[in-house]
Copies of this chain bind each other. A is one copy, B any other.
Amino acid sequence: GLKEDPKKYTKMKERLVGVSEETTTGVKRLYQMQANGTLLFPAINVNDSVTKSKFDNLYGCRHSLPDGLMRATDVMIAGKVGVVCGYGDVGKGCAFALKQAGARVIVTEIDPICALQALMEGFQVLTLEDVVSEGDIFVTTTGNKDIIMVDHMRKMKNNAIVCNIGHFDNEIDMQGLETYPGVKRITIKPQTDRWVFPETKSGIIVLAEGRLMNLGCATGHPSFVMSCSFTNQVIAQLELWKERTSGKYEKKVYVLPKHLDEKVAALHLGKLGAKLTKLTKDQSDYISIPVEGPYKPPHYRY
């Protein structure tokens, strides 16, 4: 630690060519350091690669939300009312997972664009207050705090399931729940607690103590989609190493160049038996896109 060697990180920095980072929080810190002029080496933000944000978040959660629900509670999802708070990439994955398992899904959103996307897929968009007594399964996916408060939980159906697959464990008001006067916690099994309110004798099931339920109650995302995320990391590291003396990367935060993002995807196609079409020279000229890519402009949304 720093105690034994106060210059540990300064010395480490000497030999450090650069870093790559894939979490939203970590990336936020790096951009702050860049803004403050305290970033001591180049950094590659792989969190915002398409093959990270649109894969891990979306397809990963579509898989691991039902996985966590089933392992923790064995509840039948079909026929139930699922309430998904937030319809970003994680929320989209969760809403589809519940819908496709046969639930009726209601979405809450602050962003009108995401709300309109939810509607176009047949999801009802309401506020949590509107549906608090109707939902059977509540999932927070927002990345914000104070989404489901203890006052909401008190009004829920007996044995409503409350869980978080967003980011921080304060999406669900665990503190409010734990300190609610007279509330009783019954641990059904590790990571699965029933909390009973004194007035109603009615209880809710909270998964993973409000922390990420796919990690607490299941095994997280499956390896195939994590392979996309980690390939981004590896490619970023290789890129930093290759360019370590070229001066290509300054002490700034970069996103992975799109041709490398595309390479991550390309490396995963073979496993799934896919065959890509090749652009001809003539077609390439016609749309002003190189034969070997990148195939999309930077702002393309996929």
Query: Measured between alpha carbons, how far is A50 from B116 in the docked complex, in Å?
Result: 11
Closest CB in chain B relative to A253 CB, distance in Å:
13
Which residues of A from 211 to 246 have beta carbons under 8 Å from B?
A: 218-219, 221-225, 228
Quick one: given A145-B286, A269-B125, A286-B144, are A276 and B115 in contact (CB under 8 Å)? yes
- In chain B, what residue has the closest Cβ to A86? B277
- Residues of chain B within 8 A of A99, CB atoms compared: 122
Residues of B within 8 A of A101 (CB): 62-63, 100
Binds B, one of A67-75, A172-180, A187-195: A67-75
Contacts A126-B274, A145-B283, A146-B282: A51 and B116 contacting too (C-beta < 8 A)? yes
Q: Which of B55, B78, B263, B295 contacts A110, CB < 8 Å?
A: B295
Interface size class, chain A: 35 or more
CB-CB contacts below 8 Å: A34-52 with B: 48, 50-51
Task: State in angstroms the CA–CA spacing of A23 and B17 once bound together.
Answer: 44
Asked whether any CB of chain B lies closer than 8 Å to the CB of A79, the reply is yes
Min Cβ gap A82→B in Å is: 9
Pairwise interchain contact A299-B299, C-beta atoms closer than 8 A = yes
Shortest Cβ gap from A136 to chain B (Å): 9
A residues apposed to B, CB below 8 Å: 48, 50-51, 53-55, 59, 62-63, 66-67, 70-71, 74-81, 89, 99-105, 108-117, 119-128, 130, 134, 143-146, 218-219, 221-225, 228, 261-263, 265-266, 268-269, 272-280, 282-283, 286-287, 293, 295-296, 298-299, 301-302
